A and B are shown apart, each in its own frame.
Chain A
Amino acid sequence: MLNQALVQDVIHEALTTGGDFAEVFVEDTFKDSLLLQGGRIDKSLSGRDFGVGIRVYNGFHSAYTYTTDFSREGLLKTARHAAQAINGNTQVNVQPFQHEQAPVIHEINQLPQSVEKARKVNVMKNAADIAGNYHDSISQVRVNLLDEEQNVLIANSDGKFVEDKRVHSRMSIAAIASNEHDMETGFYGPGAVQGFEFFENLDLNHYAKEAARIAVTNLGADPCPSGKFPVIIDNEFGGVIFHEACGHGLEATSVAKGKSAFANKVGEQVAPDIVTYIDDGTIPNEWGSINVDDEGNKPQKNVLIENGILKGYLVDQLNGRIMDTEPTGSGRRESYRYAPTSRMTNTYIAPGESTPEEIIANTEHGIYARYMGGGSVNPATGDYNFAINEAYLVKNGKIDKPVRGATLIGNGPKTLQTVDMVGNNLGHGAGMCGSLSGSIPVNVGQPTLRVSEITVGGRKEDA
């Protein structure tokens, strides 16, 4: 992507003001994005993202610059801009490069760029037909297909020179059901670290029908009651709550500065002993998986909480320096426009012993969140809010009628303490996670589980 001699010169230039480490990240990415709505292909866009990011450390300080100018002069100028923010006195012996192709953990069969767009269109039309034919009340279906091929080079003053190809494919299906008064939506968005084979093998009958079924269910639903309830959260994307409310607090980005509720608590009980929380970037071809992280380190299975005891954090290089800890293969970034920092990959609550049926049968009066929507968390306080995309009342140990417009609010570390049943049906769901180093693909996951009490916001007074 760039020749070794030029990269060497850029690294030398970046270290001229006494920095103790320099890194160059080069990216050449090809993306396709297609949208089908109203039965027609309405958008088809292709793009090439290309740029170079340069990072310099001086102790715990760092500077980052990036550019799309790939000329020798442009790159040296960008390196100088980074160096200008550093005032150090280290003389670094820049190591000769050890050229390496990142070992492929996640096999790709059909590269997206090698597949004709007409074939992608066929899959989208299939999905739209299945969702559209599900029920008379389905008035609109939108299908988005996204794929990308990201080629990267990560080189640094320690002699690292790693190249990698990352391939992502995702389809999102949104169905709208409407009657005279209302419109409701249903959504499903599966994705993987795979090429076109992902779309060919995707069980559209399941995903497209589910999107339509959720919309139709919500159309007939009453407003959700508000108040405090036991809440049963189903598997797969249900894990988004713990991603937001706990996962982010376990990233070195917030731990190193002491801003996390989990800082300085390794070895302490932070959750009930039925909770084990894991981040694993090595699960084959999962949406959050990586061959190598964006600092050139290998991914690994990181057990964060084991039987309720805090075991460790997700650590990138710079925060690893501050915390005096080895990096955990967690340095990630959206693109060359971001300096990498500690991020999640595939994060999940490990399966427990209860069956989902037992959890429901043990709940006298509560809310069952079958599909979660998005949400956000205040990192300082741990307060979170989430939408539920498909919710039901639970009465006398049985799932009762559907309710719509429900929101969950609470405090992350507190909610973690009040998990009282964990199911045996672990599942993962794909999402995009936005944070300091941009928006990256991650999986959230969990089995069906129950939290003894969460505040539910809805439009109806207490039921």
Chain B
Amino acid sequence: MNVLEFKDELFQKGSEKGFKDMELYYEKSDQFVCAIDKGEVDQFTTAEVTGVSFRGVYADQMGYAYTEKLDESSIEFLIENALENASVLESEDVEEIYEGDSNYKDISFSSEALKSVTTEEKINFMKELDKEIYATDERVVATNFFTMQSVDVQKAMYNSKGLSLEDDQNYLVYMVIVIVEENDVTKSGVHIEVVSDWGKVNAKESAHKAVQEAVSYLNPLETDDKFYPVILRQDAARSLLDTFVTTFSAETAQQGMSKLKEKVGSKIAGDNINLVDDPFMKNRMGSRTFDAEGVATEKLNVVENGTLTTLLHNRKTAKKDGVKTTGHASKASYKGTVNVAPSNFYIEPGSQSYEELVQGMDEGIVVTNLQGLHSGVNAISGDFSLAANGYYVKGGEIQGPTNLMTIAGNFFELLNEVNEVGSDLEFGPSNVGAPSLLLKGLSVTFE
């Protein structure tokens, strides 16, 4: 059964059962994953998955159900369950099916060049990278999670108000954890690259970066526990911002779970902080021309010189706050319901490079990665206490790695205590980006 036949029959039967407005969201993804271990292909996976999500208004509530099996039995399953789900719902603010905007940005986020890279080319590159990693430094003993993944996702949205939207996106990313050993001590470093141009992949350069990162943690220095000035390197800054990104959602605020509730128009950060959401960036994971409700997306300034100008909205949260939607309705996949999430959300870069930030530091700590982000933070209060790796800086130079440390602080206080914003904005394999940040200080405890 193809998706259009499925939709027609579903809407027909749905309307007979009493659904007022209905939507079918369709997603088809083709995926390739390979993993390499010591020169051999250790994992090889290909996949082709299709799924659809149905939602419809019944007795003034929006009922949801999804299926991965496109057949007659699923049509019945979707209608019966969406109907029963709508019947138990008690939401005060009801979702609606949207008839669509008159204009959508004409931009494609799909790369034919990336799609045409063959399996053989991908595996050969990974094997070459594997060789280079071991050749770069004799202290390399192993790799872990050494994988390449390419994904092509086609999405479509059809509703009974006549809206019909389609989108096609693809990406290719590889990662490796390099494990190094010296004097019986094992350390590891992570390296991830999102490929935008296959012609520019360079195994030697990638291997060098990956190995450098791992080796940089060998032979840690003994350092005292205290309050240090801290540089959050861009990757650490990004992962921290990512953890607190739901705070900027109007949905979270309306649920009473965000400190930014009723802060629109107020200063929430230092003058040097600008937060932007841009749905139109090429080669970014969060790019989109329409959101999960079919609303045309726009670039948005969320924080301007420290002032919160808006929260992120979908149509339901916007209606409740009496504002216009910002086009941030989101659905993780056809398995989810519509909520609120950013497109590509980032801290605007400043002028100093990472190296300049380090040079300007008398004594302090560079934090290069954070662990335990799903458990060691209180997303509501902003408090965090996290395991971290990093370097000790003295006289403007990195002296060496520190032992495993914990850093503790508060995200909202931190936004007001950034002394310098770096110029090195990076996104990594995520839709949240940040440059390196020089912080006034954090309390640091070493293992």
Q: State whether A47 and B387 are in contact (beta carbons under 8 Å apart), knowing that A380-B142, A461-B443 are contacts in the complex.
A: no
Q: Which of A64-72, A91-99, A100-108, A323-331 sits within the interface?
A: A64-72
Interface presence of A34 (CB below 8 A): yes
Once the chains bind, are B88 and A34 in contact (CB under 8 Å)?
A: yes
Residues of A within 8 A of B84 (CB): 44, 46, 116-117
* Chain B: minimal CB distance from A277 (Å): 23
Expressed in whole angstroms, the minimum distance between the Cβ of B370 and any Cβ of chain A is 9
Chain A residues proximal to chain B, CB less than 8 Å: 28, 34, 37-38, 40-51, 61-70, 78, 81-82, 85, 116-118, 121, 139-140, 176, 182-185, 224, 226-227, 257, 259, 337, 339, 373-376, 378-381, 383, 385-387, 404-407, 409-410, 455-459, 461-462
Give Cα A207–Cα B82 distance, bound, in whole angstroms: 30
On chain B, the residues within 8 Å of A62 by CB distance are 43-44
Does B74 belong to the interface (CB within 8 Å)? Answer: yes
A459/B409 in contact, CB under 8 A: yes
| Known pairs A378-B188, A385-B372, A456-B445 / 17 extra A-B pairs, C-beta < 8 Å | A38-B255, A45-B336, A46-B82, A47-B66, A49-B68, A50-B69, A65-B47, A68-B69, A121-B88, A226-B225, A259-B142, A337-B49, A374-B374, A376-B374, A376-B375, A380-B179, A457-B386
Bound Cα distance A259, B337 (Å): 40
Is B68 touching A185 in the complex (CB atoms < 8 A)? no
Against A, the Cβ 8 Å flags (1 = close, 0 = not) of B185-205 are: 011100000000000000000
**A87 → chain B closest CB, angstroms:** 10
Interface 9-residue window, one of B10-18, B96-104, B354-362, B377-385: B377-385
| Bound Cα distance from A205 to B227, whole angstroms | 44
B215 CB–A CB distance under 8 Å: no
Residues of A within 8 A of B256 (CB): 38, 139-140, 176
Which residues of chain B are near A257, meaning CB under 8 Å?
A: 37, 142
CB-nearest residue of chain A to B187: A381
Q: Which of B215-230 contact A (CB under 8 A)?
A: 225
Residues of B within 8 A of A28 (CB): 69
Q: Does the CB pair A65–B65 fall under 8 Å?
A: no
Look across to chain B and name the residue whose beta carbon is closest to the beta carbon of A119. Answer: B88
Q: Is the CB of B406 within 8 A of A455?
A: yes
Which of A48, A51, A118, A376 is close to B66, meaning CB atoms less than 8 Å apart?
A48
Q: Which residue of A lies closest to B406 (CB)?
A: A457
Cα distance A383–B85 when bound, in Å? 44
Pick the contact of B447 from A78, A455, A459 — CB < 8 Å? A455
Known: A44-B89, A48-B66. A379 touches B41 (CB 8 A): no
19 A-B residue contacts at CB 8 Å? A41-B88, A44-B64, A46-B77, A46-B81, A67-B49, A85-B41, A176-B256, A176-B257, A176-B380, A182-B381, A183-B378, A375-B372, A375-B375, A385-B372, A404-B383, A405-B408, A407-B386, A459-B385, A459-B443
Q: Is B321 an interface residue (CB 8 A)?
A: no
Judging by beta carbons under 8 Å apart, are B372 and A387 in contact?
A: yes
- Least Cβ–Cβ distance between B222 and chain A, in angstroms: 14
* Closest CB in chain A relative to B378 CB, distance in Å: 7
B65 touches A46 (CB 8 A): yes
Residue B36 is within 8 A (CB to CB) of chain A in the complex:
no
CB of B406 within 8 A of CB of A409, answer yes
B149 at the interface (CB under 8 A from A): no
Q: CB < 8 Å: which of B85, B259, B386 contacts A45? A: B85
CB distance B91 to A42 under 8 Å? yes
For the complex, what is the distance from the CA of A325 to the CA of B331, rounded to whole Å?
Answer: 44
B282 on the A face (CB < 8 A): no
A433 to B352, CA, bound (A): 41
Residues of A contacting B142 in the complex (Cβ-Cβ under 8 angstroms): 257, 259, 380
B47-65 near A? 1/0 per residue, CB < 8 Å = 1111100000000000111
B375: chain A residues at CB < 8 Å are 373-376, 385-387
Q: Which residues of B contact A (CB under 8 A)?
A: 37, 40-41, 43-51, 63-69, 74, 77, 81-82, 84-92, 142, 144, 177, 179, 186-188, 225, 255-257, 259, 335-337, 371-372, 374-376, 378, 380-381, 383, 385-387, 404-409, 443, 445, 447
Nearest A residue to B445, CB-CB: A226
Contacts of A44 in B (CB 8 A): 63-64, 84-86, 88-89
Is there an interface contact between B74 and A48, defined as CB atoms closer than 8 Å? yes
Determine the chain B residues whose CB is within 8 A of the CB of A66 once the complex forms.
45, 47, 49
* Whole-angstrom CA separation of A457 from B335 in the bound complex: 37
Q: Is the CB of A457 within 8 A of B67?
A: no
Report the Cα distance A226→B224, complex, angstroms.
13
- B187 near A409 with CB under 8 A, answer no
User: Complex formed: what's the CA distance from A121 to B43 in Å?
Assistant: 43
Chain B residues with Cβ below 8 Å from A118 are: 87-88
Task: Tell me, rounded to whole Å, the shortest Cβ–Cβ distance linking A146 to chain B.
Answer: 13
Q: Tell whether A407 pairs with B43 under 8 Å between CB atoms, given A44-B89, A67-B48, A183-B380.
A: no
Q: Closest residue of chain B to A81, judged by CB? A: B46
On chain B, the residues within 8 Å of A45 by CB distance are 64-66, 85, 336-337
User: Which residues on A sit within 8 Å (CB–CB) of B90?
Assistant: 40-42
CA distance A248 to B220 in the complex (A): 26
Question: In this complex, what residue of A is CB-closest to B67?
Answer: A48
**Chain A residues positioned under 8 Å from B225 (CB to CB):** 226-227, 462
CB of B121, distance to nearest CB on chain A (Å): 15
**Would A117 and B88 count as touching, CB distance under 8 A?**
yes
Q: Is the CB of A457 within 8 A of B385?
A: yes
- In the complex with contacts A226-B406, A378-B371, A409-B387, A183-B43 CB distance below 8 A: no
CA distance A175 to B118 in the complex (A): 51
A3 to chain B, nearest CB (A): 16
When A and B form their complex, which 9 residue pairs have the shortest distance between CB atoms, in order from nearest? A457-B406, A385-B387, A374-B375, A46-B81, A44-B85, A50-B69, A40-B90, A385-B372, A387-B375
Q: Say yes or no: B89 contacts A42, CB within 8 Å.
A: yes
Contact A459 B376 (CB under 8 A): no
Q: How far is the CB of B251 from chain A (nearest CB, A)?
A: 10
Q: Which residues of B contact A68 (CB under 8 A)?
A: 48-51, 68-69
- Chain A residues near B45 (CB-CB < 8 A): 63-66, 339
Chain A residue contacts of B385, Cβ below 8 A? 224, 387, 405-407, 457-459
* Complexed CA–CA distance, A50 and B383 (Å): 41
Given contacts A50-B69, A140-B257, contact A380 B186 (CB under 8 A): yes
Contact pick for A226, options B144, B383, B408, CB 8 Å: B408
A117 proximity list for chain B (CB < 8 A): 84-85, 87-88
Question: How close is B409's CB to chain A, nearest CB, in angstroms?
Answer: 7
Contact B49 A459, beta carbon cutoff 8 Å: no
Q: Is the CB of B257 within 8 A of A50?
A: no
How far is A383 from B388 in the complex, measured between Cα atoms in Å?
11
Q: Which residues of A contact B445 (CB under 8 A)?
A: 226-227, 455-458
Residues of B within 8 A of A259 (CB): 142, 144, 179
The reply to whether A140 and B255 contact each other, CB–CB distance below 8 Å, is yes
> How far, in whole Å, are A46 and B53 apart by their CA atoms in the complex?
10
Are B255 and A226 within 8 A (Cβ)? no
For the complex formed, measure the closest distance between the CB of B201 and the CB atoms of chain A, giving whole angstroms: 22
Query: Which residues from chain A contact B380 at a C-beta distance below 8 Å?
Result: 176, 183, 185
**Are A64 and B44 in contact (CB-based, < 8 A)?**
yes
Q: A176-B380, A458-B408 are in contact. Are A376 and B371 (CB under 8 A)?
A: yes
> How far apart are A437's CB and chain B's nearest CB, in angstroms?
11
| A47 neighbours in B (Cβ, 8 Å) | 65-67, 335
A44, B91: Cα distance in complex, Å: 11
B68:A48 contact, CB within 8 angstroms: yes
- How far, in whole Å, are A107 and B177 apart by their CA atoms in the complex? 43
User: If A46-B82, A380-B179 touch, does A385 touch B65 (CB 8 Å cutoff)?
Assistant: no
Contact yes or no, A40 B91, CB < 8 A: yes
